[in-house]
Amino acid sequence: MKKILVINPGSTSTKIAVYEDEQKVWGRNIEHTQEELSKYDAIIDQLDMRCGLVTGHVEAGGYELSAFDAVVSRGGPFARVRSGAYEVNGDMLATMRTCPIDQHASNIGMAIADKIRGTYGMPAFIYDAVTVDEMIPVARVVGLKEMSRRGQGHNLNMRAAALKVCADKDWRYSEKNLLVAHLGGGVTFSLHSGGRVVDMISDDEGSFAPERSGGLPGFQLIDLCFAEGATKKEVLRHIQRRGGLISLLGTPDSREVEKRIAEGDEEAKLVYEAMALSVAKNLAKLAPVVDGAIDAVILTGGIAFSDYFTSMVKRRVAFLGPVEILPGENEMDALAAGALRVLRGEEKAHVFEAAPEGNPS
């Protein structure tokens, strides 16, 4: 039996869990107050504080840190990488500290895992980072030389869902073409083919979502950016945190939207159906990459718990292939399962080497 410590840092919390093989046997959600976090100028400055809380809670839970076979953390947007496991090393930590793609709390997870590894000696991994980028060259090209499409999305949950469908159906992941939509506060899409995420649609170019605007008409977006008093920070906040259902209906809660629909709110019904249509259209956009040869369409994430919403999507994408629904954002399970595959020799961890930005290592 393998014992694995899982760490998932967020902006105001750090989730931790203990797994014995595939079974979660203990977990905690450590919350951080704004007062506590305001003491730190940068995310990495929180390392000792968060690490101390993690180890303290684990020990208070009755577990000896020296008894773990591995520690695994969520992989933040530190660099463009391949899917799967990476064993934490110096190049990863240096990149995360000096030139990450984005300053996000999830980046600190690898440093916490490394600090625990340094004291107790077990291997430390990240798995399916936010910035997995295995897109094929033809899928990257857009109509301005200064720009290109890049991979970024809910890779951990989407790839876990794809692997679970393959396991349930006794399929080889490397032999199937799978379309996956993560339906949460943000919505992202991925196409898995030949064991890689060969194309994806990130939340800045795809469907609108509970909190995000998704792709917008370009000329109108330019007008918004150049409106009197507009700043980059304010426009980004507008489309990333106040878009989608918040902008259109005043709430990010899909359950509230469905309650309104049940009470006869026609505007809520129209917007919700439009979001389902947008999800379906973006799934269909990826199918031509593999000439339409789709083995399964998978819907996952929190909104996938809604039969009302998924039935609208399913009706519109059934022509692409059989639709599988795996609700929930199963990040902790996915991290543990990834580390377990490495420990069992079913998967080999990648070695990260610092490379020019935009090139997976």
State whether 203 and 315 are in the same domain.
yes
Tell me: pLDDT of 355 over 80.
Answer: no
Note the pLDDT of residue 358: 46
Residues 203 and 310 in one domain: yes
Asked whether residue 15 is assigned to any structural domain, the reply reads yes
Residue 177 and residue 128 share a domain: no
Report d(CA 244, CA 237) in Å as an integer: 12
List, for residues 108-143, the tens digit of each pLDDT value: 999 999 999 999 999 999 999 999 999 999 999 999
Residue 7 and residue 92 in one domain: yes
Banded pLDDT at 239 (limits 50, 70, 90): very high
User: Two tokens at 88?
Assistant: 């934490």
Q: Looking at the structure, do residues 124 and 161 belong to the same domain, yes or no?
A: no
Count of domains observed in the chain: 2
Mean pLDDT of the 271-282 span:
98
Residue 216, pLDDT above cutoff 80: yes
Task: Indicate if 171 and 317 belong to the same structural domain.
Answer: yes
CATH number at residue 268: 3.30.420.40
**Whole-number CA gyration radius for the chain:** 21
- Closest-CA residue to 157 (of 125, 115, 193, 185): 185
Q: Burial code of 1-30, b = ≥16 C-beta within 10 A, e = fewer?
A: ebbbbbbbbbeeebbbbbbeeeeeeeebeb
For residues 306 and 162, state if they share a domain.
Answer: yes
Does the structure show a pLDDT above 90 at 171? yes
Whether 358 is in a domain gets the answer no
The secondary structure element, H or E, covering residue 291 is: none
Residue 354 is predicted with a pLDDT of 85
Global pTM reads 0.94
Rounded Cα gap, residues 358 and 361, in angstroms: 9
For residues 167 and 305, state if they share a domain: yes
Domain match, 159 and 303 both: yes
Q: Which pLDDT belongs to residue 357? A: 52
Q: Does some domain include residue 44? A: yes
Structural domain including 170 reads: 155-328
